[in-house]
Amino acid sequence: MEQLPQHIIYLLSKSKLEGLRDDEKLQLDLWRSETDANKGLCDLIDNKVQMQADLDGIARYDWEESFALFEQDYLNTSYIKPFYKRMLSYGIAAALIGLLVLFFIHNLSDTVYQETPDKDIQPAQMTGVVRLGDGHSISMVPGDTLLSFASPGKNKAARVGNLFAVTPKGGKMTMVLPDGTKVWMNAKTQLDYYEVDSMREVRLVGEAYFEVAKKHLPWGGEVPKLKPFVVQAGKINISVLGTHFYVKSTKNLEDFRTTLYEGKVRVRQGDRQIILLPGEESYIKLGQIERRIIDLDVRNALKDGYFVFNSETLGVIMDELASWYNVDVVYLDNKIKSEKFEAMLSRDSSLKDIINVLESTGKIKFKFKGKTIYVDKTT
Protein backbone atom coordinates (compact mmCIF):
# COMPACT_ATOMS: atom_id res chain seq x y z
CA MET A 1 0.00 0.00 0.00
CA GLU A 2 1.32 3.48 -0.89
CA GLN A 3 2.20 5.84 1.94
CA LEU A 4 -0.78 7.83 3.11
CA PRO A 5 -0.41 11.62 2.52
CA GLN A 6 0.27 13.21 5.88
CA HIS A 7 -2.18 16.02 5.19
CA ILE A 8 -4.88 13.39 4.75
CA ILE A 9 -3.88 11.95 8.11
CA TYR A 10 -4.38 15.41 9.57
CA LEU A 11 -7.86 15.73 8.05
CA LEU A 12 -8.85 12.28 9.28
CA SER A 13 -7.57 13.19 12.74
CA LYS A 14 -9.38 16.50 12.89
CA SER A 15 -12.62 14.90 11.72
CA LYS A 16 -12.53 12.67 14.80
CA LEU A 17 -11.53 15.40 17.26
CA GLU A 18 -13.66 18.39 16.37
CA GLY A 19 -15.12 18.02 12.89
CA LEU A 20 -14.17 19.58 9.56
CA ARG A 21 -15.07 22.83 7.84
CA ASP A 22 -16.80 22.64 4.47
CA ASP A 23 -13.56 23.26 2.58
CA GLU A 24 -11.79 20.55 4.57
CA LYS A 25 -14.60 18.10 3.93
CA LEU A 26 -14.23 18.84 0.21
CA GLN A 27 -10.51 18.07 0.34
CA LEU A 28 -11.08 14.78 2.13
CA ASP A 29 -13.95 13.86 -0.19
CA LEU A 30 -11.74 14.53 -3.23
CA TRP A 31 -9.12 12.14 -1.93
CA ARG A 32 -11.69 9.56 -0.83
CA SER A 33 -13.37 9.51 -4.25
CA GLU A 34 -10.16 8.88 -6.20
CA THR A 35 -10.03 5.11 -5.70
CA ASP A 36 -11.98 2.27 -4.12
CA ALA A 37 -8.93 1.67 -1.92
CA ASN A 38 -9.22 5.18 -0.48
CA LYS A 39 -12.93 4.65 0.18
CA GLY A 40 -12.27 1.32 1.85
CA LEU A 41 -9.49 2.83 3.93
CA CYS A 42 -11.80 5.52 5.33
CA ASP A 43 -14.34 2.83 6.21
CA LEU A 44 -11.65 0.77 7.92
CA ILE A 45 -10.57 3.72 10.04
CA ASP A 46 -14.16 4.56 10.97
CA ASN A 47 -14.80 0.97 12.06
CA LYS A 48 -11.58 0.45 14.03
CA VAL A 49 -12.20 0.45 17.77
CA GLN A 50 -8.64 0.62 19.05
CA MET A 51 -5.34 1.58 17.44
CA GLN A 52 -1.86 1.73 18.95
CA ALA A 53 0.94 4.20 18.19
CA ASP A 54 4.32 5.54 19.18
CA LEU A 55 4.48 9.28 19.90
CA ASP A 56 8.13 9.36 18.80
CA GLY A 57 6.89 9.03 15.22
CA ILE A 58 5.55 12.58 15.32
CA ALA A 59 9.07 13.90 14.83
CA ARG A 60 9.27 12.20 11.44
CA TYR A 61 6.36 14.21 9.98
CA ASP A 62 7.41 16.81 7.41
CA TRP A 63 4.14 18.75 7.41
CA GLU A 64 5.40 21.57 5.18
CA GLU A 65 6.62 19.30 2.40
CA SER A 66 3.54 17.10 2.61
CA PHE A 67 1.17 20.04 2.45
CA ALA A 68 3.06 21.60 -0.47
CA LEU A 69 2.65 18.38 -2.44
CA PHE A 70 -1.02 18.20 -1.53
CA GLU A 71 -1.52 21.84 -2.59
CA GLN A 72 0.15 21.16 -5.92
CA ASP A 73 -1.97 18.08 -6.61
CA TYR A 74 -5.37 19.23 -5.35
CA LEU A 75 -5.66 22.94 -4.63
CA ASN A 76 -4.90 26.41 -5.97
CA THR A 77 -6.82 28.72 -3.66
CA SER A 78 -6.03 31.84 -1.67
CA TYR A 79 -6.82 30.39 1.76
CA ILE A 80 -3.98 27.86 1.70
CA LYS A 81 -1.39 29.69 3.81
CA PRO A 82 -3.64 30.72 6.70
CA PHE A 83 -5.14 27.25 6.64
CA TYR A 84 -1.66 25.75 6.80
CA LYS A 85 -0.82 27.91 9.83
CA ARG A 86 -3.94 26.67 11.59
CA MET A 87 -2.88 23.13 10.78
CA LEU A 88 0.53 23.63 12.40
CA SER A 89 -1.08 25.10 15.53
CA TYR A 90 -3.54 22.25 15.82
CA GLY A 91 -1.35 20.74 18.51
CA ILE A 92 -0.24 17.48 19.97
CA ALA A 93 -3.72 15.92 20.05
CA ALA A 94 -4.07 15.99 16.28
CA ALA A 95 -0.54 14.69 15.87
CA LEU A 96 -1.27 11.80 18.20
CA ILE A 97 -4.48 10.82 16.44
CA GLY A 98 -2.73 11.25 13.11
CA LEU A 99 -0.02 8.87 14.16
CA LEU A 100 -2.60 6.37 15.35
CA VAL A 101 -4.14 6.45 11.90
CA LEU A 102 -0.72 6.12 10.24
CA PHE A 103 0.14 3.14 12.41
CA PHE A 104 -3.13 1.48 11.52
CA ILE A 105 -2.63 2.09 7.80
CA HIS A 106 0.88 0.67 7.98
CA ASN A 107 -0.45 -2.49 9.55
CA LEU A 108 -3.06 -2.91 6.83
CA SER A 109 -0.35 -3.75 4.32
CA ASP A 110 0.40 -6.88 6.35
CA THR A 111 -3.24 -7.88 6.81
CA VAL A 112 -3.88 -11.58 6.29
CA TYR A 113 -7.49 -12.24 5.39
CA GLN A 114 -9.47 -15.39 6.01
CA GLU A 115 -11.86 -16.94 3.53
CA THR A 116 -14.34 -17.95 6.26
CA PRO A 117 -15.37 -16.30 9.55
CA ASP A 118 -13.97 -17.44 12.89
CA LYS A 119 -15.75 -20.43 14.39
CA ASP A 120 -16.25 -18.56 17.66
CA ILE A 121 -18.56 -15.99 16.02
CA GLN A 122 -21.93 -17.07 17.38
CA PRO A 123 -25.51 -15.85 16.83
CA ALA A 124 -26.98 -13.53 19.43
CA GLN A 125 -27.27 -15.07 22.89
CA MET A 126 -29.68 -14.31 25.73
CA THR A 127 -27.66 -11.54 27.31
CA GLY A 128 -28.73 -8.19 28.71
CA VAL A 129 -29.17 -6.15 31.86
CA VAL A 130 -32.30 -4.84 33.56
CA ARG A 131 -31.92 -2.00 36.06
CA LEU A 132 -34.79 -1.65 38.50
CA GLY A 133 -36.18 1.49 40.07
CA ASP A 134 -34.33 0.96 43.34
CA GLY A 135 -30.97 0.79 41.58
CA HIS A 136 -30.59 -3.00 41.63
CA SER A 137 -29.59 -4.72 38.39
CA ILE A 138 -30.48 -8.17 37.08
CA SER A 139 -28.44 -9.76 34.31
CA MET A 140 -29.67 -12.23 31.73
CA VAL A 141 -27.01 -14.75 30.75
CA PRO A 142 -26.81 -17.46 28.07
CA GLY A 143 -29.01 -20.34 29.17
CA ASP A 144 -31.76 -18.08 30.51
CA THR A 145 -34.97 -18.06 28.49
CA LEU A 146 -37.12 -15.40 30.14
CA LEU A 147 -37.00 -12.63 32.73
CA SER A 148 -40.34 -11.93 34.36
CA PHE A 149 -41.25 -8.98 36.57
CA ALA A 150 -45.00 -9.56 36.53
CA SER A 151 -45.38 -11.83 39.56
CA PRO A 152 -46.82 -10.11 42.65
CA GLY A 153 -44.07 -11.59 44.74
CA LYS A 154 -41.26 -10.03 42.74
CA ASN A 155 -39.23 -7.27 44.30
CA LYS A 156 -40.76 -3.93 45.10
CA ALA A 157 -39.08 -2.01 42.29
CA ALA A 158 -40.65 -4.32 39.73
CA ARG A 159 -44.09 -4.05 41.31
CA VAL A 160 -44.19 -0.28 41.04
CA GLY A 161 -43.44 -0.59 37.34
CA ASN A 162 -40.15 1.16 36.67
CA LEU A 163 -37.25 -0.48 34.87
CA PHE A 164 -34.61 0.05 32.20
CA ALA A 165 -33.41 -2.83 29.99
CA VAL A 166 -30.57 -2.98 27.49
CA THR A 167 -29.21 -5.66 25.17
CA PRO A 168 -25.66 -5.41 23.81
CA LYS A 169 -24.39 -6.09 20.34
CA GLY A 170 -24.64 -9.87 19.96
CA GLY A 171 -27.36 -10.11 22.61
CA LYS A 172 -31.13 -10.56 22.81
CA MET A 173 -33.69 -10.68 25.59
CA THR A 174 -37.22 -11.89 26.24
CA MET A 175 -38.96 -10.53 29.31
CA VAL A 176 -42.33 -9.87 30.89
CA LEU A 177 -42.86 -6.31 32.08
CA PRO A 178 -44.51 -5.59 35.45
CA ASP A 179 -47.91 -5.13 33.76
CA GLY A 180 -47.72 -8.57 32.10
CA THR A 181 -46.68 -7.34 28.64
CA LYS A 182 -44.23 -9.69 26.93
CA VAL A 183 -41.35 -8.18 24.96
CA TRP A 184 -38.81 -9.68 22.57
CA MET A 185 -35.79 -7.34 22.36
CA ASN A 186 -33.30 -7.52 19.50
CA ALA A 187 -29.56 -6.82 19.79
CA LYS A 188 -28.45 -3.24 20.52
CA THR A 189 -31.80 -2.23 22.00
CA GLN A 190 -32.71 0.00 24.95
CA LEU A 191 -36.11 -0.06 26.61
CA ASP A 192 -37.21 2.25 29.43
CA TYR A 193 -40.53 1.25 31.05
CA TYR A 194 -42.55 3.37 33.44
CA GLU A 195 -46.03 2.85 34.86
CA VAL A 196 -48.30 5.13 36.86
CA ASP A 197 -51.99 4.87 37.72
CA SER A 198 -53.14 6.50 34.49
CA MET A 199 -50.85 4.96 31.86
CA ARG A 200 -47.95 2.73 30.86
CA GLU A 201 -45.08 4.13 28.80
CA VAL A 202 -42.09 2.65 27.00
CA ARG A 203 -39.22 4.63 25.51
CA LEU A 204 -37.50 2.54 22.86
CA VAL A 205 -34.28 2.78 20.87
CA GLY A 206 -33.70 -0.34 18.81
CA GLU A 207 -36.02 -3.17 17.84
CA ALA A 208 -38.68 -5.03 19.81
CA TYR A 209 -41.87 -7.06 19.41
CA PHE A 210 -44.64 -6.47 21.96
CA GLU A 211 -47.58 -8.57 23.14
CA VAL A 212 -49.35 -6.01 25.29
CA ALA A 213 -51.30 -7.19 28.31
CA LYS A 214 -54.75 -5.67 28.77
CA LYS A 215 -54.90 -3.73 31.99
CA HIS A 216 -57.79 -1.63 33.28
CA LEU A 217 -57.66 1.71 35.00
CA PRO A 218 -58.47 1.66 38.73
CA TRP A 219 -61.50 3.80 37.92
CA GLY A 220 -63.95 3.88 35.02
CA GLY A 221 -67.42 3.32 36.43
CA GLU A 222 -69.58 0.50 35.10
CA VAL A 223 -67.44 0.04 31.96
CA PRO A 224 -63.79 -0.36 32.97
CA LYS A 225 -61.37 1.51 30.73
CA LEU A 226 -58.13 0.00 29.48
CA LYS A 227 -54.96 1.58 30.81
CA PRO A 228 -53.15 3.19 27.84
CA PHE A 229 -49.87 1.65 26.66
CA VAL A 230 -47.67 4.16 24.84
CA VAL A 231 -44.35 3.63 23.05
CA GLN A 232 -42.21 6.72 22.55
CA ALA A 233 -39.69 6.36 19.70
CA GLY A 234 -37.82 9.61 19.34
CA LYS A 235 -40.40 12.25 18.39
CA ILE A 236 -42.92 9.61 17.34
CA ASN A 237 -45.67 8.52 19.71
CA ILE A 238 -47.33 5.10 19.34
CA SER A 239 -50.58 4.62 21.28
CA VAL A 240 -51.52 0.97 21.51
CA LEU A 241 -55.15 0.16 20.86
CA GLY A 242 -54.41 -3.51 20.15
CA THR A 243 -52.11 -6.12 21.56
CA HIS A 244 -49.43 -7.46 19.18
CA PHE A 245 -47.11 -5.10 17.33
CA TYR A 246 -43.50 -4.59 16.28
CA VAL A 247 -41.38 -1.44 16.53
CA LYS A 248 -37.98 -0.59 15.10
CA SER A 249 -36.58 2.81 15.96
CA THR A 250 -32.93 3.72 15.55
CA LYS A 251 -31.37 6.87 16.96
CA ASN A 252 -32.46 10.01 15.10
CA LEU A 253 -35.11 7.85 13.35
CA GLU A 254 -32.85 6.92 10.41
CA ASP A 255 -34.83 3.69 10.37
CA PHE A 256 -38.32 3.63 11.88
CA ARG A 257 -41.26 1.29 11.43
CA THR A 258 -44.26 0.08 13.40
CA THR A 259 -46.09 -3.06 12.29
CA LEU A 260 -49.46 -4.18 13.63
CA TYR A 261 -50.56 -7.81 14.01
CA GLU A 262 -53.69 -7.52 16.14
CA GLY A 263 -56.04 -4.69 17.11
CA LYS A 264 -55.07 -1.10 16.31
CA VAL A 265 -52.29 1.38 17.00
CA ARG A 266 -52.22 5.12 16.51
CA VAL A 267 -48.89 6.52 15.31
CA ARG A 268 -48.45 10.25 15.83
CA GLN A 269 -45.70 12.58 14.64
CA GLY A 270 -46.44 16.16 15.58
CA ASP A 271 -49.84 17.07 14.14
CA ARG A 272 -49.90 14.09 11.78
CA GLN A 273 -51.31 10.73 12.88
CA ILE A 274 -52.06 7.37 11.27
CA ILE A 275 -54.29 4.55 12.52
CA LEU A 276 -52.84 1.15 11.62
CA LEU A 277 -54.87 -2.01 11.07
CA PRO A 278 -53.45 -5.57 11.08
CA GLY A 279 -51.08 -6.09 8.16
CA GLU A 280 -50.18 -2.41 7.93
CA GLU A 281 -46.94 -0.66 8.77
CA SER A 282 -45.94 2.93 9.38
CA TYR A 283 -42.54 4.19 8.27
CA ILE A 284 -40.64 7.41 7.65
CA LYS A 285 -40.54 8.87 4.14
CA LEU A 286 -39.06 12.31 3.50
CA GLY A 287 -39.26 13.04 7.21
CA GLN A 288 -42.96 12.15 7.60
CA ILE A 289 -44.79 9.04 8.74
CA GLU A 290 -46.52 7.08 5.98
CA ARG A 291 -48.48 3.82 5.81
CA ARG A 292 -48.08 0.68 3.68
CA ILE A 293 -49.33 -2.90 3.52
CA ILE A 294 -46.64 -5.47 4.31
CA ASP A 295 -46.02 -9.20 4.64
CA LEU A 296 -46.48 -9.96 8.34
CA ASP A 297 -44.16 -12.96 8.13
CA VAL A 298 -41.26 -10.60 7.42
CA ARG A 299 -41.74 -8.48 10.54
CA ASN A 300 -42.68 -11.44 12.74
CA ALA A 301 -39.25 -12.88 12.03
CA LEU A 302 -37.75 -11.36 15.18
CA LYS A 303 -40.20 -13.13 17.48
CA ASP A 304 -40.13 -16.41 15.55
CA GLY A 305 -36.35 -16.53 15.16
CA TYR A 306 -35.76 -15.80 11.47
CA PHE A 307 -34.00 -13.34 9.23
CA VAL A 308 -36.39 -12.47 6.42
CA PHE A 309 -34.87 -10.18 3.81
CA ASN A 310 -37.52 -9.15 1.32
CA SER A 311 -35.75 -7.09 -1.35
CA GLU A 312 -33.59 -5.50 1.36
CA THR A 313 -30.41 -3.60 0.50
CA LEU A 314 -27.08 -5.10 1.47
CA GLY A 315 -26.47 -2.13 3.76
CA VAL A 316 -29.58 -2.94 5.80
CA ILE A 317 -28.77 -6.66 5.83
CA MET A 318 -25.19 -6.18 7.00
CA ASP A 319 -26.29 -3.76 9.74
CA GLU A 320 -28.62 -6.46 11.02
CA LEU A 321 -25.92 -9.14 10.85
CA ALA A 322 -23.36 -6.87 12.55
CA SER A 323 -25.67 -6.41 15.54
CA TRP A 324 -26.77 -10.04 15.72
CA TYR A 325 -23.32 -11.64 15.40
CA ASN A 326 -21.38 -8.85 17.15
CA VAL A 327 -19.07 -8.14 14.22
CA ASP A 328 -17.83 -5.05 12.39
CA VAL A 329 -18.50 -4.51 8.68
CA VAL A 330 -16.26 -2.65 6.23
CA TYR A 331 -17.23 -2.00 2.63
CA LEU A 332 -14.36 -2.05 0.15
CA ASP A 333 -16.79 -0.72 -2.46
CA ASN A 334 -19.58 1.47 -1.07
CA LYS A 335 -21.71 1.09 -4.19
CA ILE A 336 -22.40 -2.53 -3.27
CA LYS A 337 -24.48 -1.38 -0.26
CA SER A 338 -27.43 -0.60 -2.54
CA GLU A 339 -27.65 -4.12 -4.01
CA LYS A 340 -30.88 -5.89 -3.00
CA PHE A 341 -31.32 -9.47 -1.81
CA GLU A 342 -34.07 -11.86 -0.77
CA ALA A 343 -33.60 -14.65 1.75
CA MET A 344 -35.17 -16.36 4.75
CA LEU A 345 -32.75 -17.88 7.24
CA SER A 346 -32.78 -19.02 10.83
CA ARG A 347 -31.33 -16.56 13.32
CA ASP A 348 -29.60 -19.58 14.87
CA SER A 349 -27.62 -20.11 11.65
CA SER A 350 -23.86 -19.76 11.78
CA LEU A 351 -22.44 -16.61 10.25
CA LYS A 352 -20.70 -18.82 7.70
CA ASP A 353 -24.06 -20.16 6.47
CA ILE A 354 -25.48 -16.65 6.11
CA ILE A 355 -22.40 -15.50 4.20
CA ASN A 356 -22.54 -18.53 1.89
CA VAL A 357 -26.13 -17.68 0.93
CA LEU A 358 -25.22 -14.08 0.11
CA GLU A 359 -22.13 -15.10 -1.85
CA SER A 360 -24.12 -17.66 -3.84
CA THR A 361 -25.85 -14.78 -5.63
CA GLY A 362 -22.60 -13.99 -7.42
CA LYS A 363 -22.92 -10.28 -6.63
CA ILE A 364 -20.60 -9.97 -3.64
CA LYS A 365 -17.66 -11.58 -1.93
CA PHE A 366 -16.44 -11.50 1.65
CA LYS A 367 -13.11 -11.62 3.46
CA PHE A 368 -12.55 -11.85 7.19
CA LYS A 369 -10.05 -10.82 9.82
CA GLY A 370 -10.98 -11.59 13.39
CA LYS A 371 -14.45 -10.17 13.96
CA THR A 372 -14.35 -7.81 10.99
CA ILE A 373 -16.11 -8.60 7.70
CA TYR A 374 -14.79 -6.97 4.52
CA VAL A 375 -17.41 -6.71 1.78
CA ASP A 376 -16.52 -6.23 -1.89
CA LYS A 377 -18.15 -6.66 -5.28
CA THR A 378 -17.27 -9.65 -7.41
CA THR A 379 -14.86 -8.99 -10.23
- Encode pLDDT of 173-185 as tens digits: 999 998 899 999 9
What pLDDT was estimated at residue 95?
Answer: 53
What are the tens digits of pLDDT across the range 122-147?
899 999 999 988 888 898 877 888 89
Cβ atoms < 10 Å from Cβ of 179: 17
Q: What is the DSSP string of 219-286?
A: --TTSPPBPPEEEEETTEEEEESSSEEEEEE-GGGSSEEEEESSS-EEEEETTEEEEE-TTEEEEEET
* Residue 168 DSSP symbol: -
Distance CA(15)–CA(56), nearest Å, equals: 23
Distance CA(309)–CA(332), nearest Å, equals: 22
Distance CA(140)–CA(128), nearest Å, equals: 5
The residues spanned by each domain of the chain are 6-108, 125-299, 305-377
Instruction: Give the pLDDT band of residue 275 (cuts 50, 70, 90).
Output: very high
CA angle 236, 125, 314 (to 5 degrees): 60
Burial grade of 350 (CB within 10 A; 0-12, 13-18, 19 or more): middle
Instruction: Give the pLDDT band of residue 365 (cuts 50, 70, 90).
Output: very high
| 48 or 363: which leads in pLDDT | 363
pLDDT above 60: residue 316: yes
CATH classification code of 305-377: 3.55.50.30
Whether the predicted model's global pTM rises above the 0.75 cut: no
CATH classification code of 125-299: 2.60.120.1440
Distance CA(174)–CA(194), nearest Å, equals: 18
